[in-house]
């Protein structure tokens, strides 16, 4: 088992300066593919900043920034096959975009309308999970169904480092190992579970070490390096599909923004730590690599940003043009058949809304 000597190597293709340290993964070994990967990260960054602006101006609800963590979702999205299943948490915009989810759908969800997770072009992936670690349980169940049906598919589920402190997480990786389920658990270790640093969450040397306790493969990857994330996910997913071998992948990153727009990270996070992390972030690194090895120009870079800004602008226009959600609609989908108590709660809620104008 990788890491069974209790020493997990951090797998890296690009160093912080953008220098390639090992041969490119074959599936990404063309300039066009590399640019496509970079564009996905840029689009995610542009979308992220625009979503925060929408929240700040009252056009959307609380939003969780993924700034500095784009390489993880991009690597996952590129590694997954079409018939695999993504069970995401709330910082997986890049993977969702790659899987066909529309930007306006993501905005609609964070605007308070659950219909945003009813994807037009992606019927098998699951909605964003806001409750912490519960998606890991769902992923294990889906993986069991895939194995039971003898399908050549796999499940990817994601979470933050804070979720690894939850019982749901341990129960899920344990049952995946015990039953040999085709699932890959990806932990975005962005160092901060809201205001709690990693060293206060666990005494384990790394999150990857948690794989040892349940007998599954564990890996540690540089989460600022999309090539490394793609490589590790491609290999673990293939083993999941063909051998029903689950894996735990710890992706090292850093949360450059606040936990959500309802948070102020400056109250608990050292500025010097944030400044150091900004020098390692994925877009700077990957752009430097493209410039060194693929003659990437400033004009090309500017063009890709303008293209992404235009795409996000159109998505925002589509979001703003959506019909207003009927008041109290969220009560209607709690159960297949609404209970009398729930119907009473809905009427009382609607009456309160009417009184407040």
Active site residues: 255, 259, 268
Tokens representing 328 are: 């109290």
DSSP string, 285-324: HHHHHHHHHH---HHHHHHHHHHHHHHHHHHHHHHHTSPP
Considering only the C-alpha atoms of the chain, give the largest distance between any 2 of them, rounded to a whole number of Å: 66
Contact status, residue 249 vs residue 271, Cβ threshold 8 Å: no
Q: What is the Cα Rg of the chain in Å?
A: 21
Cβ 183 vs Cβ 176: under 8 Å:
yes
Q: How do 155-160 and 85-87 pair as beta strands?
A: parallel
Shortest CA distance to 184 belongs to which of 255, 107, 267, 95? 95
Query: How is 88-134 classified by DSSP, letter by letter?
Result: -BTT-HHHHHHTT--HHHHHHHHTT-GGGGS-SS-SSSPPPB-SSSH
Angle at 102 between CA 315 and CA 46, to 5 degrees: 55
Helix (H, G, I), strand (E, B) or coil at 184: strand
């Amino acid at each position: 088992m990788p890491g069974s000597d209790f020493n997990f190597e951090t797998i890296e293709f690009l160093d912080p300066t953008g220098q390639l340290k090992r041969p490119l993964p074959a599936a990404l070994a063309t300039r066009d593919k590399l640019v496509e990967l970079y564009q996905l990260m840029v689009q995610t960054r542009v979308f992220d900043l625009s979503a925060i602006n929408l929240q700040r101006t009252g056009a959307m609800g609380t939003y969780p920034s993924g700034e500095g963590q784009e390489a993880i979702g991009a690597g996952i999205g590129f590694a997954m096959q079409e018939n695999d299943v993504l069970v995401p948490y709330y910082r997986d915009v890049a993977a969702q975009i790659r899987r066909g989810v529309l930007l306006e759908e993501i905005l609609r969800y964070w605007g308070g309308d659950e219909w945003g997770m009813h994807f037009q072009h992606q019927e098998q992936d699951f909605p964003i999970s806001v409750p912490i670690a519960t998606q890991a349980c769902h992923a294990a169940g889906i993986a069991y169904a895939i194995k039971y049906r003898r399908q050549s598919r796999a499940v990817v589920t994601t979470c933050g480092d804070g979720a690894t402190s939850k019982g749901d997480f341990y129960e899920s990786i344990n049952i995946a190992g015990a039953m040999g389920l085709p699932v890959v658990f990806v932990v975005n270790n962005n160092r901060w579970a809201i205001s709690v640093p990693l060293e206060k969450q666990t005494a384990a040397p790394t999150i990857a070490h948690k794989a040892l306790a349940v007998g599954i493969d564990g890996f540690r990857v540089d989460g600022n390096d999309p090539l490394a994330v793609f490589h590790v996910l491609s290999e673990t997913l293939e083993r999941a599909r063909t051998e029903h071998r689950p894996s735990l992948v710890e992706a090292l990153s850093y949360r450059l923004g606040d936990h959500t727009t309802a948070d102020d990270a400056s109250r608990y996070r050292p500025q010097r730590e944030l400044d150091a992390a900004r020098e390692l972030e994925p877009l700077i690194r990957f752009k430097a690599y493209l410039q060194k090895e693929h003659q990437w120009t400033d004009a090309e870079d500017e063009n890709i940003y303008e293209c992404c800004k235009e795409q996000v602008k159109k998505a925002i226009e589509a979001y703003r043009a959506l019909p207003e959600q009927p008041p109290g609609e969220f009560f209607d989908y709690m159960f297949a058949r609404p209970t009398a108590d729930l119907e009473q709660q809905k009427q009382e809620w609607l009456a309160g809304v009417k009184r407040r104008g």
